[in-house]
Amino acid sequence: MSGPEPRVPPDAQQPPGPTADRREEFARESRDAPRDPEAEEAFLQGRIDMIRGDPGLTEAEKEKAVAALLRSLRSARREHRNGRGQVP
């Protein structure tokens, strides 16, 4: 037995129009934006902590995901030491 169907606002039933593909524009803006090394490291460390505590992942899945994030963290640290991606 199922409950009542959830109410959906009328304007949520149909998209307002065609969706534009703005991936290239976003990639360009992201590449040109100044980077904050401390924020990047904090973000990656937060993701690692989140994965380690996720009860829905197996230990093998956690190890694989954490290893990938640690590689990203090391790469970001290398870039920052080499002077790339610094906040002006």
pLDDT digits (tens, 9 = 90+) for 26-66: 898 888 888 888 898 899 999 999 999 999 999 999 999 99
φ, ψ (nearest 5 deg) of residue 73: -65, -45
Q: Which residues of 36-64 are buried (b: 16+ CB within 10 A; e: fewer)?
A: ebeebeeebeebbeebeeeeeeeeeeeee
- DSSP character for 58? -
| 81 within domain boundaries | yes
Number of domains in the chain: 1
| 88 within domain boundaries | yes
Residue 61, domain extent: 34-88
**CA 6, CA 33: separation in Å to the nearest integer?**
41
| 72 within domain boundaries | yes
| 18 within domain boundaries | no
Instruction: Using pLDDT thresholds of 50, 70 and 90, give the confidence band for residue 88.
Output: very low
Among 2-11, 37-46, 65-74, the range scoring the smallest mean pLDDT is 2-11
